[in-house]
Amino acid sequence: MSEPAPHIRLELVSNPVYLSGARELINAVAKRVGFDDIACSKIALAVDEALCNIIRHGYDRATDKPIWISIWPLAQGEDHRPAGGLKLVIEDEARQVTPEQMRGRELEDIKPGGLGVHIIKEVMDEVIYEQRPSLGMRLTLIKRTPNSDDPATVADTAAQRPKPPN
The residues that touch another protein, with contacts defined as CB under 8 A, are 16-17, 19-20, 23, 37-38, 41-42, 44-45, 48-49, 52, 55-56, 107, 110-113, 115-116, 118-119, 122-123
Q: How far is the CB of 42 from another protein (least distance, A)?
A: 7
Can you tell me the distance from the alpha carbon of 15 to that of 74, in angstroms, rounded to the nearest whole number? 29
Q: Is the dihedral of CA 99, 45, 65, 105 positive or negative?
A: negative
Closest CA to 12 of 79, 81, 117, 93: 93
Task: Name the minimum Å distance from CB 25 to another protein.
Answer: 14
Q: Which is nearer to another protein, 40 or 86 (CB)?
A: 40
Is the Cβ of residue 44 or residue 127 nearer to another protein in the bound state? 44
- For the CB of residue 82, give the shortest distance to another protein in the complex, in Å: 22
Nearer CB in complex with another protein: 7/23: 23
Q: Write down the least CB distance from residue 16 to another protein, Å.
A: 4
Task: Please say which residue, 113 or 133, places its beta carbon nearer to another protein.
Answer: 113
CB of 22 to another protein, least distance (A): 10
Judged by beta carbon, residue 5 or residue 119, the one nearer another protein is 119
